[in-house]
Amino acid sequence: MNRNYKETVLRIIKEANLPLAIETIRTKAGIGSWVTTKSVLLELLIDKRISGTKTSKSWIFSKLKTGETDD
């Protein structure tokens, strides 16, 4: 996985005021593939660097809330 993608996606999420959908993040990050974007996001979620919520349609992602871990 391209580490630059992870850092770019993390920056986009940290700068956002609201949770973002995968497609929005993909477009802002300039990533060509929705699947690649989802993979990057899920890796960041597993690493506890972002928050994620499964919705009835897909996922939304946001920065960690106060008190959550961000190494």
Tens-digit pLDDT profile for residues 6-35: 999 999 999 999 999 999 999 999 999 999
User: Is residue 68 one of the residues assigned to a domain?
Assistant: no
Q: Is residue 22 part of a domain?
A: yes
Determine the structural domain holding residue 8 and report its residue range. 3-62
pLDDT at 1: 55
- Give a yes or no: residue 17 inside a domain: yes
In a domain, 39, yes or no: yes
CATH, residue 31: 1.10.10.10
Q: Specify if 67 maps to a domain.
A: no
The Cα 50–Cα 45 span in angstroms is: 5
Neighbours of 41 (CB within 10 A): 24
Q: How far apart are CA 16 and CA 25, in angstroms?
A: 10
* Domain assignment present for 71: no
Q: What is the pLDDT of residue 49?
A: 96
Q: How confident is the model at residue 63 (pLDDT cuts 50, 70, 90)?
A: very high
Counted domains in the chain: 1
- Element holding 57 (H helix, E strand): none
